[in-house]
Structure 1
């Protein structure tokens, strides 16, 4: 699937700005970004529910830009389950097959295979109101897969579910996608969902595609300050390059190591992002790092997240393993530091 230079405006407001991306056969790609960034509009253009003002959409070498949605052979799963309330689970799955006038024996075989794939064979004769939210969404997924779509489109299909069911179902969706090999485009504003199930993630902001890469690359090498702040958890400092050769930045009047500052112009204004897992806490009498005091502890199971005030306007987050957090109770004066490779250094 190829999106080439797609632009779209509504009422004079441009919501997509020349978006281009390619999705390989069998790939699972997520469109990720905050509300209003254009990800759902892009999905609707791919589906054929909206027409772009510019650019085109191609699938398997065919230009689908002006083709109506019903002729695109795409499966769609919405946030709302959109099941037919008067049809059973099996009949909902069979719906698209009936429209295509497949032989009844073939319809029954496909429905049986899909019910087995989603683990709901025993629920074939139940109506939507007799199913849980997660079960309904599985049926909606099976219905979309029944027509053997060239592209599976998922528009925030998990947002109406509770947290535990969301995690279970996103893993189920990924398993099913791998087993069927269907090329998938998944819209979500939840970065954990996108990073956990995707082969690649397209991060969008203000109608632009700002980074398109693997989850690991986006987390470890953000393209700009927006991506660094949006993906994962970080503490952001404003500073300046102090030593371009050695890789030092000036943060709050203290020189701190930042290998990614090497080669940048001296005194260049930069934003420095530090992940909490990269931060080290040390006693206040240490001569290394930024000074601060502990504000709060948040127990997160295997780790404790410690909030440290290093400036009246900056609270740094540090993830501390196990009982080590007890060495730094609330109110304790500390120093914070990190390895030179840890911070992301980006234009301010």
Structure 2
């Protein structure tokens, strides 16, 4: 699947600005971004529900830009389950097969296989109102897969579910996608969701594609300040390059290591982003041998780790994750020194 230079406006407002991306055969790609970034509009253009003002959509080498949605051989799963209330689970799955007039024996075989794939063989004769939200969404997924689509499109299919079911179902979706091998485009605003199940993630902002890479690469090496702040959790500092040879930046008057500042001009302004898991705390504050001085403001228990909020400036609260067993060494009000490894911070132009 290839999207080449796609642009779209509504009422004079540019919603998509020359978006280009490609999904490999069998790949699971997520479109990730905040509300209003254009991800759903892009999905609808791929599906054929909207026509782009510019650019092209190609699947398997065929230009589908002007092809109606019903002729694109794509499976779509919406946020709302959109099941036919008067049809059973099996009949909902069979719906597209009946329209294609497949032999009944073939229809029955496909429906049986898909009910097994989604784990709902015992619920084949139940109507949507007799199914839970997660079960309904699995039926919707099976219905989309029944026609053996060239592309599976998922528009925030988990947002209406509670947190526990959401995690379970996203893992089911990923398992089913791997078993079927269907190329998949998945829209979500939930970064954890996208990072946990995708082969690659397309991060969108303001109608633009700002980074398209593997989840690990996006987390470890964000392309710009938006991605660094949107993906995961990080503390941002305004800084200036202090020693480009040693990889040092000056933050709040203190020289701190930042290997990615190597090669930049001296006094070059940069933004430094530090993840909580990369931060080390040491008791003693300004009396400690090195690092930024701060004071512990709050603890948040997160299970294996405790997230410690540290005031390092009147306007800056740094986040540090420490093992739960060590949290007691940094009580609220304690003076601490903050440090990190040289390769830990992301350094971006200010």
Give the deviation of 1:283 after TM superposition.
1.4
Provide the aligned length of Structure 1 versus Structure 2: 348
CA deviation digits over 1:182-204, x for unaligned, max 9? 00000000000000000000000
Partner residue of 2:328?
Answer: 326
State the match for 1:66 in structure 2: 66
Deviation, structure 1 residue 323:
1.5
Q: Which residue of 1 aligns with 2:342?
A: 340
Shift of 1:150: 0.1
Q: List aligned pairs for 1:1-348, cutoff 5 A.
A: 1-284=1-284, 285-348=287-350
**Displacement of 1:322:** 2.1
Whole-angstrom distance in 1 between the partners of 2:118 and 2:334: 52
Q: Aligned with 2:277: secondary structure?
A: helix
Secondary structure (helix, strand or coil) at the match of 2:175 reads helix
Is there any run of 5+ residues in structure 2 with no aligned partner, and where? none
- Normalised TM-score (structure 1): 1.00
- CA distance, structure 1, for counterparts of residue 126 and residue 101 of structure 2: 24
CA distance in 2, matches of 1:331, 1:283: 11
RMSD, aligned CA = 0.5
SS in structure 2 of the partner of residue 8 of structure 1: strand
Cα-to-partner distance string for 1:175-222 (whole Å, 9 max, x where unaligned): 000000000000000000000000000000000000000000000011
> Aligned with 2:26: secondary structure?
coil
Deviation at 1:268, TM superposition (A): 1.0
What are the superposed Cα offsets for residues 90-132 of structure 1, whole Å, 9 maximum, x if unpaired? Answer: 0000000000000000000000000000000000000000000
Q: Following superposition, which runs of at least 4 residues in structure 1 exceed 6 angstroms of deviation? A: none
Partner SS state of residue 141, structure 1: helix
**What TM-score comes out, normalization by structure 2 length?**
0.99
Runs of 5+ consecutive residues of structure 1 not aligned to the other structure: none
Q: Deviations over 1:240-268 (max 9, x none)?
A: 11111111111111111000000111111
Equivalent position SS for 1:292: strand
Partner SS for 2:141: helix
Rounded to whole Å, the distance in 1 between the matches of 2:309 and 2:324 is: 16
**Structure 1 residue 231: Cα displacement:** 0.4
Question: 2: distance between equivalents of 1:237 and 1:178?
Answer: 41
Offset at 1:41? 0.3
CA offset at residue 347 of structure 1? Answer: 1.0
Determine the C-alpha separation between the residues in 1 that align with 2:166 and 2:240.
42
